[in-house]
Amino acid sequence: MRKILDKFVTGFFVVILGIAWYCSTKFYIKPDRHSIVVYDVFGKEIKLEGVRVDFKTRNVAQSYISEYKKRFPQYNFAMAIEVPKIKKNTIPRILKKIHR
């Protein structure tokens, strides 16, 4: 009897932790694009000729920012991240799809 109870308790906690893990990672979305924003001495956003501004990964954008800071010391560079819109799959929305 004790072994069955131990397996039941262990299974219960495994299921609870699995549900908690699924709910915590369900809405995490990686950014689609990273862009470089260029600012002049006065803090106004500008566009420079010959500066690549759109990237797919953060590391590449960060590398280009450090290179551009060496090449153009009179300008400031920042990274902007574009995150896609998150759609929540709430129960009423699921029920509306089923009902149609």
Residue 50 · residue 8 · CB < 8 Å: no
Res. 37: pLDDT tops 90 = yes
Does the pLDDT value for residue 100 go beyond 70? no
In a domain, 100, yes or no: yes
Considering the domain boundaries, does residue 78 fall inside one?
yes
With a CB cutoff of 8 Å and minimum separation 6, the contacts of 88 are 27
pLDDT surpassing 80 at residue 63 = yes
pLDDT at 66: 95
Three-class SS of residue 91? helix
Higher pLDDT residue, 93 or 59? 59
Number of domains in the chain: 1
1: in domain:
no
57 lies in some domain: yes
pTM of the prediction? 0.57
Q: Give yes or no for residue 69 having a pLDDT over 90.
A: yes
Mean pLDDT, rounded, for 9-15: 93
pLDDT at 62 over 70: yes
Give yes or no for residue 95 having a pLDDT over 90. no
pLDDT for 48 = 87
Residue 63 domain flag: yes
Residue 95 sits in which domain range? 28-100
